[in-house]
Structure 1
């Protein structure tokens, strides 16, 4: 017993979402995108402990090969392996992709890893829209990361709401106590959610408001903000409101809006924490940043990132994360498979790039 708070885990997690419009990464430099150039928002400007990268409209033309990941995963792995990150897991549904990388020291503290997918395109028959996710026990707590691509276009709000509810209803896991997304202690949801602006402002008017920095005025018309307020969708999640320009729709190769569509904050990152689920344990996820990266002009969307401080604290008790795992996931939980998967990934990756 101790008379003060003990820290079970204090992680910095970097989340990134980007609709790449079917483009391949080719020779695209990723240092700025991954905050590897000295610009991280983690405490003391340290590199993140974990990266979770969600992508939409990844090209599906590549012939599937069990020995090789999608070119985007290989590109991220190439960049992050130089900083000693290992791939934890990934999941792809047609053009929707989620990948997790972590520093080696965290691998033993990741267990019960599962992935899931939900198709919402064509009434649930097609995976051009929908979601993929990775869930795991992270230092004993249940964490899930969801990447989704919801129905597009201005007049499709009801379809977006329906997509959200289909994902929540159909995403199911096998770990006791964490069968569904919102059973988890930590939920992070990112992606091209495709929410637009209500009302009848023209594309010209929206662009003018953006150019004059009237973001607060526009966000009052934002469908996602309104849906969270009314409880129609995403109401269980929190979002730090964007202080950056709408990330859609740009002329590819530029920072100029394509006014065939009204600019909108399509690309978003939300989160939820069940802070006091366990006796004497406090969970928190303080958001440290939320930004877009205008430097990247590959597609008609700008990438969006967020950084979170992920903390697990024990009040007046000393817990190990193994003991917390017993409390949250039960003694019968499966043995971690991440270290095997991660280090096999490194071996295969290195073998591929030696030729």
Structure 2
């Protein structure tokens, strides 16, 4: 779970998530940089098959007291598959596409991961050093259309959009263009967007920005992923009932990708995704973390969850 412009009270945030998730999951590891925060919650039975987690970070606003722009990352191995999770907050404003591209390039070359896993050839691009990479955050890319035109489209459109049909305005999306021409996020993919723009709302409402700034709606909040074909895994193939033809299945597949419009505490709507990935068997060359997790967060979260059960309050709603 990655957040940007987060509350400085990291403990309360992590406990609230733990309380909501319940005893089936634990906080495996978390890290932050200024207002950026990244936490990996994991099913309890899987922590015994993970390597020791490592983290790295970069502020793209050097010399500033408040680190609001940049990235934080956590990496580890699950069984024999190496994972990298990144959350970032890139340069804002409609016209600053080149600056956002520059942010991404700086981030991928500055994050020094992995540190303790033996690699034959460590790539300067951190995303090339892992089997699976998931990158989320406020990437701040905008739609290149007038505000009034976008508002009219949103008002006259029924969401979610059909996933098999082209999105009416994604051809004007800056990030889609960046992904297409390889200017940044080379090798990354994104599932089809079927939800309305996640920015910018009046906090506490479902209304797009009515302030004097009059920001145009945009898909600033995104989840990207990339993977490399894993040695030791056979290519999974499926056949169609009609033709009998076989097609190779991806090693990572996005099953769901959506926003959460019911959360109104921010001027953004959070996005979430569910992925399915193949996992390679572990090897003796990867030292395990011996069941590492944050016990303080777990105990406090379970204590509050138990208290809420007695008082009748909802742990699910508490996350908002």
- CA shift, 1:258, in A, is 0.7
Query: Residue in 1 aligned with 2:201?
Result: 250
Which of residues 257, 273, 279 in structure 2 aligns to 1:290?
257
Query: Residue in 2 aligned with 1:15?
Result: none
Secondary structure of residue in 2 paired with 1:312:
coil
**Distance in 2 (alpha carbons) for counterparts of 1:182 and 1:124:** 30
**Distance in 2 (alpha carbons) for counterparts of 1:137 and 1:124:** 34
Q: How does 1:27-46 map to 2 (within 5 A)?
A: none
Higher strand proportion (structure 1 or 2): 1
Q: How does 1:121-132 map to 2 (within 5 A)?
A: 121-122=61-62, 127-132=67-72
- CA shift, 1:281, in A, is 4.5
| Offset from partner CA, 1:226-257 (integer Å, 9 cap, x none) | 00111111131001121110000011111111
**Distance in 1 (alpha carbons) for counterparts of 2:294 and 2:216:** 42
Find out whether 1:205 has 2:149 as its counterpart: yes
Whether contact under 8 Å (1:90, 1:98) holds in the other structure is yes
**Distance in 1 (alpha carbons) for counterparts of 2:288 and 2:255:** 32
Secondary structure of residue in 1 paired with 2:137:
strand
What residue ranges of structure 1 are gaps of 5+ in the alignment? 1-52, 63-68, 314-320
Query: Residue in 1 aligned with 2:266?
Result: 299
Structure 1 residues 84 and 231, CA gap change in structure 2 (3 angstroms): same
Whether contact under 8 Å (2:15, 2:297) holds in the other structure is no
TM-score (norm 1): 0.72
| Offset from partner CA, 1:129-171 (integer Å, 9 cap, x none) | 0111111101211011111110111121111111101110000
**Distance in 1 (alpha carbons) for counterparts of 2:265 and 2:225:** 27
Q: How does 1:343-354 map to 2 (within 5 A)?
A: 343=295, 345-347=297-299
Count of paired positions:
277
Query: Residue in 2 aligned with 1:40?
Result: none
Query: Residue in 1 aligned with 2:317?
Result: none
Find out whether 1:176 has 2:115 as its counterpart: no
Structure 1 residues 105 and 247, CA gap change in structure 2 (3 angstroms): same
Secondary structure of residue in 2 paired with 1:290:
strand
What residue ranges of structure 2 are gaps of 5+ in the alignment? 236-249, 308-320
Query: Residue in 1 aligned with 2:139?
Result: 193
Secondary structure of residue in 2 paired with 1:135:
strand
Which of residues 58, 74, 93 in structure 2 aligns to 1:134?
74
Find out whether 1:115 has 2:77 as its counterpart: no
Whether contact under 8 Å (1:240, 1:290) holds in the other structure is yes
**Distance in 2 (alpha carbons) for counterparts of 1:124 and 1:109:** 40
